[in-house]
Amino acid sequence: MLGVLRHPTYRRLFTAQVIALLGTGLATVALALLAYRITGPQAGLVLGTALAIKMTANVLVAPVATALLGHLPRRVILVSLDVIRALAALLLPWVDQIWQIYLLVFVLQAASAAFTPLFQATIPDLLDDEDDYTNALSLSRLAYDMERLVSPALAAAALALVSVNELFLGTAIGFTASALMILAAVLPQPVPARKTGGVFSRTTLGVRSYVAVPRLRGLLALHLSVAAAGAMVLVNTVTVVRDDLAGSDADVTAALAVYGIGSLLVALSLPRALRRWPERPLMLTGSVLGAGTLAAVAVALHAEGPWRWSGLLAAWALLGAAGSLVLTPAGRLLRRSVDSSRRPALFAADYALSHGCWLITYPLAGWLATTWGNAWTPAALAMLAAAATFAVSHFWPADHLDEQEHDHHDLAPGHSHLQDAQPVAATGAWRHTHPYRLDDNHHTWPR
């Protein structure tokens, strides 16, 4: 897996990603402490609102920003967005009003929502080899998992030496270092897409491409399944551990760490697995595992016994593994579905739609726990995950192949794309078979 780091440009980009993620992790801890400093007991409400603002920015900003910025030089845009994130982090220690927190969180996350899809779309342009790209996806998943594990410990160690305000300085330093690493890299120029329509058309291009491809409609259902399982962990771990299992704050941290470890271990093993099996059965396995584990958690929380703590740790590890099984290969599906000129728009659509799933399941998990209690919440989320899993088989059939036989009605004879095509006398079209992706010559998916 680490062999892909021999690629110098990718190595710089991956280093930039790791540094920026650590900075973001420090900001998450610091923001919680800042909210408590300003509002005291109302800190939970402030953080919940900030999280909703963050997810809303992810959903709304990514497609628009990509439509406006995707054709510009990527290095300039990525560095500029890192600078905006660094400045927003530097301003956070100076706030003394709740609305100022909300404003800066929106600015910070809007910049991240513009940055991440463009960054993700750059990687497949750098790494032509499928195995290299798979290894890069696994490394990216590892980076996210390690951030969840390392950032809280790093923040705790830093707070023994510095103040909360200096944690935000650490965040700004992380984004600045990320900008410097990207500035030192030579990035491929974006491939210009054919101009079709105005800003609205370019903004919706990614979503229209997304819903046109069967495997990506299946991927959206898988995102919902993962969000249902992940929301149970990220929203309700603290109340399940403290109230249902009478655990401590350290136990909450341990449960969240085990969730990250489960995801990390699967990400390490996926490059080898993907050389043996295609994405669909592996991703479906992850979705089924997530739904089944949630159902088992619901049963366990209705039972009694000293095994419930160890059972919860095992369940959280399985939920982390299930999420990684689905999310790590997703980039391979996106890469194969469109040409390079549409990749930024498609990655932005995936970013927005996947976060839209979390925007649904985050408040749902909290509302269910408050209304029905922790024991019934995983049962309801398990049903949602199971329904999403069932939808995958409808949206993404098992016989969905990369190579598709299709006809061209709108290309003139002699067009370069028709070199291997055969005429269809009955319709006047040209027919051939090749790995199919949406581009300027293929606007819809073959029926």
Show Cβ contacts of residue 111 under 8 Å, excluding neighbours closer than 6 positions.
Answer: 81, 82, 84, 85, 88
What are the residue ranges of helices labelled H in 72-213?
74-91, 98-126, 130-159, 164-183, 199-212
pLDDT digits (tens, 9 = 90+) for 19-34: 888 888 777 777 767 7
Q: In angstroms, rounded to a whole number, what is the distance separating the alpha carbons of residues 218 and 221?
A: 5
First to last CA, the chain: 37
Query: Residue 169 is encoded by which pair of tokens?
Result: 């300085």
Question: CATH topology of 1-190 equal to that of 209-393?
Answer: yes
Strand (E) or helix (H) holding 8: helix 8-39
Instruction: Parse the chain into domains and list their residue ranges.
Output: 1-190, 209-393
pLDDT of residue 306 exceeding 80: no
pLDDT digits (tens, 9 = 90+) for 223-269: 999 999 998 988 888 888 888 888 877 788 788 888 888 988 998 89
Q: In angstroms, rounded to a whole number, what is the distance separating the alpha carbons of residues 191 and 341?
A: 5
pLDDT digits (tens, 9 = 90+) for 348-399: 889 889 989 998 888 888 888 888 888 899 999 999 999 999 999 889 988 7
pLDDT of residue 271 exceeding 80: yes
Estimate the share of the chain in helix, then strand, then coil, as percent rounded to the nearest 5.
Answer: 75, 5, 20
pLDDT of residue 193 exceeding 60: no
Show Cβ contacts of residue 197 under 8 Å, excluding neighbours closer than 6 positions.
Answer: none
Residue 19: how many other CB atoms lie within 10 Å: 21
Q: Assign domain 1-190 to its CATH superfamily.
A: MFS general substrate transporter like domains (1.20.1250.20)
pLDDT digits (tens, 9 = 90+) for 435-445: 888 877 877 87
Q: What is the CATH number of domain 209-393?
A: 1.20.1250.20
Query: Residue 200 is encoded by which pair of tokens?
Result: 């609205």
Please, are residues 55 and 362 in contact by the beta-carbon 8 Å criterion?
yes
Longest dimension (CA), the chain: 79
What pLDDT is recorded for position 192? 59
